[in-house]
Amino acid sequence: MERLPYLVPIVLYAILALDHLIPKALGAWVRTHGRTVALIGTAVHLLTLVGAALWRGGTPGFPEALSAAALGMMVAYVIVGASDRLRSLGLLLAPLSVVVLATGMVVPHKTVSALAETGGSSPWLPLHLGLIFAGLGGFSLSAAVGVMFLFVRSRLKGKKNLAALKRLPSLEVLDRIQFRSTLFGFAFLTLGIAAGGAWAAASLTEPFFFDPKVLLTLVIWAWYGIALQVRLVAGWRGRWSALFSIVGFSGLIFSMLVLNFVVQGWHAYGP
């Protein structure tokens, strides 16, 4: 029953996704008020996510993780939706949010193995998860901007359909947004890793550093750190920054949707 309210944000996100995928299919009203629709959807989504956590007694599982990931993506959508030229980024963010949230509604409720020892009532848990998924929202925006940057760059380089590019942001604007969103995501991921490490050090009796999820997360953290470093020091930007963001976000999605189920460790989802 606690998943039924998710139908509201799913429907609203699906409306936005359809408007992006098939322009003018739903009329001018959706395009004009798309950001309002997204705001309503994220507000209901957030209330439902908090309510589901309270319903479960503070023990979030895989459905809540997917829901939080989708929420982070839609918050990024709301941020960029204020500009007509940046609204086109929703072509990636809105459909991906629908897929992730819909998946969260149908998967079984499984919790990570570590909660069996640490419990789900620790104040470290919402802090750790909140920071991690805030970082994921930043990285999702960074990846979406990266894809659009490569698209616009290829069109300009090949001099194809240049008239359509007038509705899209310039390469300079996309590069600036991509850098800021990556920096945002990296800062929150760093804080999330620190909070999770402190919580694990205080609660777990066995070593947690060699957990596969921890190791992959640290690799992804280092990947984004290298991307920021080479941009600031070596001046690599544009195409290279876009590729770094896309690959890094793909690693995060793999970590969240695949790794937890194919390896054993503290972050593996139990029966």
User: pLDDT tens digit string along 43-60?
Assistant: 998 888 887 767 665 566
d(CA 193, CA 132): 7
Indicate if 128 and 7 belong to the same structural domain: no
Instruction: Name the DSSP letter for residue 22.
Output: S
100, 166: one domain: no
| Measured distance CA(18)–CA(242) in Å, rounded | 25
State the first-to-last Cα distance of the chain, in angstroms, to the nearest integer: 21
Are residues 37 and 16 part of one domain? yes
75-104: buried (b, 16+ CB within 10 Å) or exposed (e) per residue?
bbbbbbbeeeebbbbbbbbbbbbbebbbbb
pLDDT, residue 187, reads 93
Pair (142, 226) in one structural domain: yes
Please report how many Cα atoms fall inside a 13 Å half-sphere around the Cα of residue 212, on the Cβ side: 15
pLDDT for res 1: 46
Positive or negative torsion for Cα 109, 114, 119, 123: negative
Residue 168: name the closest of 159, 182, 184, 156 by CA. Answer: 156
Residues 199 and 249 in one domain: yes
Sequence-ordered list of residues with C-beta below 8 angstroms from that of 202, at least 6 positions apart, any chain: 124
- Tokens representing 158? 């090949």
d(CA 176, CA 187): 17
Based on the domain organization, do 58 and 128 belong to the same domain?
no
pTM for the predicted model, two decimal places: 0.78
Per-residue pLDDT of 141-157, as tens digits, reads 898 888 888 888 887 87
Do 98 and 150 have their domain in common? no
Q: What is the pLDDT of residue 6?
A: 81
Domain stops at, among 89, 109, 129? 109
> Same domain, yes or no, for 203 and 93?
no
Instruction: Check whether residue 100 and residue 177 sit in a common domain.
Output: no
Structural domains in the chain (count): 2
Work out the mean pLDDT of the chain and round it to a whole number.
78
> Tens-of-pLDDT digits for all 271 residues of the chain?
456 778 888 999 988 888 887 877 777 777 777 778 888 999 998 888 887 767 665 566 677 777 888 888 888 888 876 566 677 777 788 888 888 888 877 776 666 655 655 555 566 677 777 888 888 888 988 988 888 888 888 878 767 666 666 677 788 888 888 898 999 999 999 998 888 777 777 666 555 556 777 788 889 999 999 989 888 887 777 888 889 999 998 888 887 777 666 666 555 555 5
Residues 236 and 143 in one domain: yes
Q: What is the CA radius of gyration of the chain?
A: 19
pLDDT given for residue 191 in this prediction: 92
3-state DSSP helix/strand/coil percent for the chain, to nearest 5? 75, 0, 20
Q: For residue 175, what are the domain limits?
A: 115-271
Domain end, chosen from 88, 109, 130, is at 109
Residue 119: what pLDDT? 55
Based on the fold, state whether residues 96 and 143 are members of the same structural domain: no
Same domain, 200 and 71: no
